[in-house]
C-alpha cells in the first residue's frame, strides 16, 4: 500500500509537470525572450510546487533520470524503481493527452527536437550534460537532512537553469517521461526521435550518481560527523 501511494504521487507529479511545463511552452511559445523565460520558469516552479506537496510521500522524483540515479546510489530498490518509472510514464501520457485536447492546433505539444537540423550525436551529448548537472544538484542538496527546507527551491531553480540554457538546443528534456508523453500525440519526427530523449537523460542520471558517489565518499561522511570540540565538550559534561 505504501508503494502504491508513492506511485500515485509520482503519477500526479509527472502529470502536473507535463501539463504546466509543456503547456506553458504551447501557450506562449519559445520564439521570443519572454516566452523562452516563462517556459523555463514554469518547469522550475512545477518542481518547487510538487516538491513541497508530494516530496514527503515519494521524494518527488517525477523523472526516470532521477529515479535511476537514486537506484544507482542505493536509495531505492529495483522494485520501487520500475514502479516509479511506470507511474511517471503514465502521468506524462495523461498530461500529453490533456494538452492534446487543450491545444488542438499545436503540432508538438511541447515535445523535444534534435539540435542542428537533426544532429543526433550533438543532441545526445547536450541532453547528457544537462541531465548530469540537474541530477548532480539533486543528489547534492538531498544528501543532508538539514537541507530539507530549501531542497525543493534549489532543485526547482536548477531545472530552470538547465532549461534557460537547453531550450535553444533541444527544448530541454532531462526527463524521459516528460518527453515521451507529448511525443506520442505530436507524432512524426517528435516521436521518431524520442528515443534520444529517453536514452540521454538516463545516461546523464547514471553518470551523475556515479560521479557524485565518487567525489562525496568520505568527504560528506566527515562533514556529517559531530565536530571534535563539540564531542570534547560533551565528554566533559558527562564527567561532571
Q: Where are the domains of the chain?
A: 2-218
The grid cell for 108 is 508538438
When pLDDT is averaged across residues 3-8 and rounded to a whole number, the result is: 96
Q: Summarize pLDDT for 132-154 with one digit per residue, the tens.
A: 999 999 999 998 888 888 999 99
C-alpha cell read off for 132: 548530469
Query: DSSP 3-state assignment of 173?
Result: coil
The highest-confidence range among 28-32, 63-67, 185-189, by mean pLDDT, is: 63-67
SS3 percent helix, strand, coil of the chain, rounded to 5, is: 80, 0, 20
Give SS3 for 119.
strand
Task: Check residue 232 and give its pLDDT.
Answer: 47
Q: What is the pTM of this model?
A: 0.89
Instruction: Tell me the CATH number for domain 2-218.
Output: 1.20.1080.10
Res. 225: pLDDT tops 70: no
Cα 7 from Cα 15, distance rounded (Å): 12
Angle, vertex CA 224, rays to CA 49 and CA 131, nearest 5:
45
Which cell numbers in the block locate residue 78? 529495483
Cα angle: 22, vertex 56, 99; to 5 degrees: 15
Name the phi and psi angles at 119, rounded to 5: -75, 100
Q: Are the C-beta atoms of residues 184 and 96 closer than 8 Å to each other?
A: yes
Concatenated DSSP letters of 133-144: HHHHHHHHHTSS
Over range 55-61, report the average pLDDT: 94
Among 49-53, 124-128, 209-213, 224-228, which stretch is predicted with the lowest mean pLDDT? 224-228
- DSSP H stretches of helix in the chain: 2-16, 23-28, 33-58, 64-72, 78-102, 120-141, 148-170, 176-186, 188-192, 196-216, 219-224, 228-239
Lowest-confidence region among 106-110, 179-183, 204-208, 216-220: 216-220
Amino acid at each position: 500500500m505504501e508503494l502504491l501511494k508513492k506511485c500515485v504521487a509520482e503519477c500526479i507529479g509527472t502529470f502536473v509537470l507535463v501539463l504546466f511545463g509543456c503547456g506553458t511552452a504551447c501557450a506562449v511559445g519559445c520564439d521570443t525572450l519572454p516566452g523562452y523565460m516563462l517556459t523555463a520558469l514554469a518547469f522550475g516552479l512545477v518542481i518547487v510546487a510538487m516538491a513541497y506537496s508530494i516530496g514527503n510521500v515519494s521524494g518527488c522524483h517525477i523523472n526516470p533520470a532521477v529515479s535511476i540515479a537514486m537506484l544507482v546510489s542505493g536509495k531505492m530498490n529495483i522494485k520501487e524503481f520500475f514502479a516509479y518509472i511506470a507511474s511517471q510514464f503514465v502521468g506524462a501520457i495523461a498530461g500529453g493527452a490533456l494538452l492534446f485536447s487543450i491545444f488542438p492546433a499545436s503540432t508538438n505539444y511541447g515535445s523535444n527536437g534534435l539540435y542542428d537540423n537533426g544532429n543526433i550525436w550533438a543532441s545526445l551529448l547536450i541532453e547528457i550534460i544537462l541531465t548530469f548537472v540537474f541530477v548532480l544538484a539533486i543528489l547534492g542538496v538531498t544528501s543532508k537532512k538539514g537541507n530539507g527546507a530549501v531542497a525543493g527551491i534549489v532543485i526547482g531553480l536548477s531545472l530552470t537553469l538547465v532549461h534557460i540554457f537547453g531550450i535553444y538546443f533541444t527544448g530541454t528534456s532531462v526527463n524521459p517521461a516528460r518527453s515521451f508523453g507529448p511525443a506520442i500525440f505530436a507524432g512524426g519526427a517528435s516521436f521518431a526521435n524520442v528515443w534520444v530523449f529517453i536514452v540521454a537523460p538516463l545516461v546523464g542520471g547514471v553518470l551523475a550518481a556515479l560521479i557524485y558517489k565518487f567525489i562525496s565518499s568520505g568527504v560528506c561522511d566527515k562533514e556529517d560527523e559531530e565536530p571534535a570540540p563539540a564531542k570534547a565538550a560533551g565528554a566533559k559534561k558527562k564527567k561532571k
